[in-house]
A and B are shown apart, each in its own frame.
Chain A
Amino acid sequence: MDSKHAINPLDALLQKGPVVVNMGMESFFHDLQAQEVPVVHVQWRPPLATQGLLQKLQKIGGESS
């Protein structure tokens, strides 16, 4: 903990209750919605095909300066 006053993020989770990013099984997302848990579902895809492009965008953008 950096500061005596900052609340530990695990304690914050237990105090506030779950606010969820769901990644994978969409049925878990629906179950959380049914329990009125704030949740966003990620339509996740394997990174292999896409990772290169993002890195290159950073590089190209940086080089353009």
Chain B
Amino acid sequence: MIELSARLRSADWPEKPVRLQVRHRFSGVMNLVGPDEKRYTLLTRHIDFQPRSLLCASLPAHDATGEEQYSFPPVEVGFDPELRLPFPNPRWKGMWTEWPTLETGLSPEEVEKGVQLPESLLGRGEGFTPAGDDLLSGMLTSLLWLDPVLAERKFLRVEPMLHNTGWFSRQMLLDTMHGCTWKRGKDLCMALCDTDAARLLESVASILQWGHRSGAAWLAGLGVGLCLADAHNGG
């Protein structure tokens, strides 16, 4: 049994002790896999909150590698990964229109193909989460938000093909399909509904700092979805 020095939990973190096995360990973040094959994450920085994650004062020692029972004291919810958003402020349209062309490591042709056939992006590109998966996640986020019918039509064929990418990406995309996202993404979506330019710029910068290009790819995808929803809804 490993006792965690938990501070806050995401709303979807199980309240009872869970059996988990370590998958990846980074400085400040640990990904673990649960009996349901789902990803669970221990974090040390609030900004890294995501679905099924627990904010801890420190991570368990390095010798914790096998399957273990993890327990923690009762803590409050510090982050709700579910997106329940009003409409974005149309004032930011000029801003989101430029996101699809951000440097993501994917070519404009690949992105364009991905807009027609989202499944073509699965596992495409380099990185811990390939840029194609990040882009898909971003695009799905905004389409589910603003145009669920189009989202379903576009992504119907993606779910059965999720085996085409890695476990971590798969978890991210499944979370997205269930209307959940990580904190940086949710902060940005909320800033898009607001009128505060400084808040928006900060949240965009915060996303771009995520991974090498993961943030840029997710943002590009979010922009693609926003533009598609705009055009679909008649601008």
Contacts and interface: CB of A to CB of B under 8 A. Distances in A.
A–B direct touch in complex (beta carbons closer than 8 A): yes
Interface of A: 49-50, 52-54, 56-62, 64-65
B196 to A, nearest CB: 15
Contact of A62 (B115, B224, B232): B232
B192 interface: no
B115 A57 contact: yes
Given A64-B150, A64-B153, A57 B108 contact: no
Given A49-B108, A57-B224, A57-B231, 19 more contacts: A50-B101, A52-B108, A53-B112, A54-B100, A57-B115, A57-B227, A58-B227, A60-B115, A60-B228, A60-B231, A61-B227, A61-B230, A61-B231, A61-B232, A64-B153, A64-B228, A64-B231, A64-B232, A65-B234
B224 to A, nearest CB: 6
Nearest to A59: B231
Interface in B106-137: 108, 111-112, 115-116
Contacts of B231: 57-62, 64
Interface string B132-163: 00000000000000000010010000000000
Contacts of A64: 150, 153, 228, 231-232
B8 interface: no
Given A60-B115, A60-B116, A64-B150, A54 B227 contact: yes
B97 interface: yes
B100 A57 contact: yes
A65 B112 contact: no
A54 B226 CA distance: 12
Interface residues of B, number: 18
B111 to A, nearest CB: 6
B201 to A, nearest CB: 9
Contacts of A50: 100-101, 108
Interface string B205-228: 000000000000000000010011
23 contacts: A49-B101, A50-B100, A53-B101, A53-B108, A53-B111, A54-B101, A54-B227, A56-B112, A57-B100, A57-B224, A57-B231, A58-B231, A59-B231, A60-B115, A60-B228, A60-B231, A61-B228, A61-B232, A62-B231, A62-B232, A64-B153, A65-B232, A65-B234
